[in-house]
Amino acid sequence: MKKILLIEDDKNLIEMYETAFELEGFEVEKALNGDEGLKVLAKKEKPDIILLDILMPGMNGFSFLKEVKKKKTLKSIPVLLLTNLGESTIDMNRELAFVLGIEGYLIKAKNNPDQVIARIKNILKNK
Amino acid sequence: MGMFKINLNKKSKANFNNDFEEFYKITQVINSSLDLKTTLKTVSESIANITNASYCYIFLKSGEDEVSCAYRYGKKLIFREQYNISTSYHTKKIFKTGKPIVTSNFENYRHYGEEVIDFFKKENICCTLYLPIIKEKKVLGYMWILRKAECSTDIDIKRIMLFVNQMATAISNSQLHHKIDINRSRWKSIFKDSSSGMIITDPSFKILFINKAFETIIDKKSRLLIGINIEEMFVNEKDRLFLEKGLRQNKKTKVFNKELLLEAKNSVIWTSMRVSKSINSADEERYIFSFEDITSKQEFEKDKNEFVSIISHELRNPLTSIKGYLNLIEKKEIGSMNKKQQAFFKKIEDSAERMTELVENLLDVNKINTGKMRLNLSPVSIGKIFKKVSSDLSRALSQKNLKIQLDKDERVYVYGDDIRLYQVFYNLLDNAIKYSFPDGKIKVGYKNEDEHALFYIKDNGVGISPLEQKKLFTKFSRIENIFSVSSGGTGLGLYIVKNLVLAHNGAIWIESKHGKGATFNVKLPLAKQLSLVK
């Protein structure tokens, strides 16, 4: 069973994505911000993919990404940005994000869970 | 007037040379000076000289029923500066007859006050002359000459009147000049005291004049600015280009409006600029610039844009949640809905979709307004993008039983942002579907032409009137749709489309005839390197 680490601070969205992913047969681990995400990653069993929000209280998505990509054991895990932040902000940070090594990004409001799942499957297939 | 020859001292010897000299002097002054004071001074002095007068006054008409002393030769007297024409004996008479008056034997004249007569006695004034100043049969005023008894020159009124007549011409000229001068200074003060910042430049945009208000706007002294080129104050390169391309080379337009940033002392100022071309009285070409400080308006705009941006982003999270759960409810694992629930579900889904569209449109408009619309450019295939657009809109097409008639050239690659171009073609096809008659055809075509790709989409609707065409690409414009009460759009779609096309250095225009549908044409720059085609 493939495992997703969902780093997201909106509780409604967490439950929604968790339900949708589980229906598709994924195992879901949750974290409310970057710090919690790093704690989850410190465990022995690593996720197959990380879905990462950007704006969160505590450690934000970009800081989390930098930390992950520094660590040999973690940097190969694909990261998909899942955010409602303005595209212009993402555009500005796009280069940084791709340098840091993301697989892509999705605007949450523009993609329903099915579309997010399709993208996840695509990334895992090419891995 | 020749009959007024008075030999007051019986020593009649005309000083012809003296007369000639004075006459020459007067003519010189009259020809060279338009200043009334100078003219009056010279003429009074000359006449006083040749008549051997002790005092000489010039009274000019200063009101409907009023004369005022315009020049005084000799020391200041107790006499009044102004007289009413209708109530002063000699003044009234001279204005009525236009003929000179000679007065003497003052004790007998009740028209002078005691003070005046006392003065005449003290100064030994033996006679006075009132000489009318007439121009084109109009009495402009008169000269009053006071002579002492001991002076020994004869005076010939006819002779003196030659001088006075010269003066009349000079007075009427300088009065006219004075009027023009007042007008000019009125205009000057409009420029000087205008609350708009104003600048006048020559045709090369070199600054000639600056008014106070402009100094205030940019907090710099005019002496630092006069002589420099106005473009040195423009912060943005494109505004400098506007001077040359938009202004100088544009022969048709007379007045220009533009909002631009000016460099002030320690900051930059948003201004609304108005420029007009003008030719001055010396036949020289001038540009007149006026500026209003709109910094606070711009700040309000900025606040508004930030507000829209924050609100829209804040709306995205709850919308994600609504749409996400709707997506979940549809799944068979969650359970099934009855028919009524399914119908209601559809309505919620449609509303959520419309709201998403509104939020995304507002965010796009916001990006356009704040100049943050960024494109990720790469060579993209129009055919590929349009294929996805038509497949995503296939349901809407089949609902109205519309067919797409495609006239295509497979190898049309443009240099563009695939996501944004998808948005452009999606909006255009979506509109074409909305405004087409059912069971018809929508014609779509794209091809290469010189350096550009041409794309068109033609609906079979009622067409768009010229008036509506003008409004079409503006914000919140909507065209009445005969097929639905509410078109359900935000009125932002075509505004965004136009700005996206412009951001691609492209162009968009409409052709439409009443009753014959509308064609939207899009021109986009071709991709040069095809190795990276998406």
Answer yes or no: do A108 and B316 touch at CB < 8 A.
yes
DSSP code per residue over B89-124? HHHHHHHHH---EEEE-GGG-TTS-HHHHHHHHHHT
Report residue B283 as tokens. 């036949």
In angstroms, how far is the first alpha carbon of chain B from the final one?
106
ipTM: 0.85
Residues of B in contact with A114 (CB under 8 A): 327
Residue B391, number of CB atoms within 10 A of its CB = 10
With a CB cutoff of 8 Å and minimum separation 6, the contacts of B453 are B382, B412, B413, B414, B446, B447, B523, B524, B525, B526
Strands in A79-83's sheet, in edge-to-edge order, are A27-31, A3-7, A49-52, A79-83, A104-107
Please say whether the dihedral angle defined by the alpha carbons of residues B413, B417, B419 and B422, taken in this order, is positive or negative.
Answer: negative
Angular region, B74: left φ>0, alpha ψ -120 to 50, beta rest: left
A13 interfacial to chain B (CB closer than 8 Å)? yes
User: Cα dihedral sign for B308, B311, B314, B319?
Assistant: negative
Cβ separation B320–A19 shorter than 8 A: no
3-state secondary structure of B270: strand
What lies within 8 Å, CB to CB, of B405 at 6+ separation is B441, B442, B443, B444
Strand B403-408 and strand B441-449: the pairing is: parallel
**Are the Cβ atoms of B309 and A20 closer than 8 angstroms?**
no
Quote the distance between the C-alpha of residue B152 and its chain's center: 67
Look at residue B7 in the predicted model and tell me its pLDDT. Answer: 44
CB atoms within 10 A of CB B180: 11
Label residue B13 exposed, middle or buried (CB < 10 Å: 0-12, 13-18, 19+): exposed
Indicate yes or no: CB of B327 within 8 angstroms of CB of A10: no
- Look at B327 and A114 and tell me if their CB atoms are within 8 Å: yes
pLDDT band at A74 (very low <50, low <70, confident <90, very high): very high
Range with lowest mean pLDDT among A93-102, A114-123, B304-313, B388-397:
A93-102
Question: For testing the chain B interface, which of A8, A19, A84 should be mutated: the one with the most B CBs within 10 Å?
Answer: A84
DSSP category for residue B33: -
Nearest by Cα to B216 from B295, B309, B128: B295
Q: Which residue has the higher pLDDT, A40 or B482?
A: A40
pLDDT of residue B449: 87
Q: Which letter does DSSP use for residue B440 in this model?
A: -
Structure tokens at B477: 């414009």
Tell me the shortest Cα–Cα distance from A71 to chain B, in angstroms.
31
- Give the CB-side neighbour count of residue B165, counting CA atoms within 13 A: 12
CB atoms within 10 A of CB B142: 26
pLDDT tens across the length of chain B (534 residues): 333 344 444 333 445 566 677 777 777 776 666 677 777 888 888 888 877 788 888 899 888 899 988 888 877 666 778 888 888 888 999 999 999 888 876 655 667 777 778 888 888 888 888 999 998 888 999 998 888 866 555 567 887 888 788 778 878 877 787 788 888 888 888 888 888 899 999 989 999 999 999 999 888 888 888 899 999 999 888 888 888 887 777 777 778 888 889 988 888 888 999 998 888 777 888 899 999 998 888 888 888 888 887 777 788 889 999 999 999 998 888 889 999 999 999 999 989 988 888 888 888 888 888 887 888 888 999 999 999 999 999 999 999 999 999 998 878 899 999 889 999 999 999 999 988 889 999 999 999 888 899 999 999 888 888 888 888 888 776 666 666 544 556 778 899 999 999 999 999 999 998 888 999 999 999 887 555 555
Q: How far is A15 from chain B (nearest CA, A)?
A: 9
Q: Is the pLDDT of residue A87 over 70?
A: no
> What is the C-alpha R_g of chain B?
43
Residue among B111, B119, B59, B69 nearest B89 (CA): B111
The answer to whether the Cβ–Cβ distance between A91 and B360 falls below 8 Å is no
Q: How far apart are CA B97 and CA B81, in angstroms?
A: 23
* Contact residues on chain B for A10, CB-CB shorter than 8 A: 317, 321
Contacts with B316 from chain A: Cβ below 8 Å: 84, 107-109
Distances (CA, A) of B35 to A58, B122, B143, B265, B333: 83, 35, 18, 42, 103
Dist CA B316 CA B325 (whole Å): 14
- Write a three-state SS string for B295-348: HHHHHHHHHHHHHHHHHHHHHHHHHHHHHHHHHHHCCHHHCCCCHHHHHHHHHH
Q: Which residues of A touch B373 (CB under 8 A)?
A: 88
CA separation (Å) from B501 to B83, B121, B522? 79, 98, 8
Please give the pLDDT value at position B481.
64
- At residue A121, does pLDDT exceed 90? yes
Can you tell me which residue has the tokens 């020994």? B152
Taking an 8 Å cut-off on Cβ atoms, the answer to whether B309 and A13 are in contact is no
> Which residues of chain B are within 8 Å of residue A19 when distances are taken between CB atoms?
328
Chain B residues with CB under 8 Å of a chain A CB are 309, 313, 316-321, 323-328, 331, 333, 356, 359-360, 363, 367, 372-374, 376
Per-residue confidence (pLDDT) for residue B108, from 0 to 100: 59
Largest interatomic CA distance in chain A: 37
Nearest residue of A to residue B319, measured between CA atoms:
A109
Q: How many CA atoms lie within 13 A of B354 on its CB side?
A: 12
Q: Which of A72-81, A95-104, B414-423 has the lowest mean pLDDT?
A: A95-104
Indicate yes or no: CB of A109 within 8 angstroms of CB of B323: yes
Provide the total of helices (H) and of strands (E) in chain A, helices listed first. Answer: 5, 5
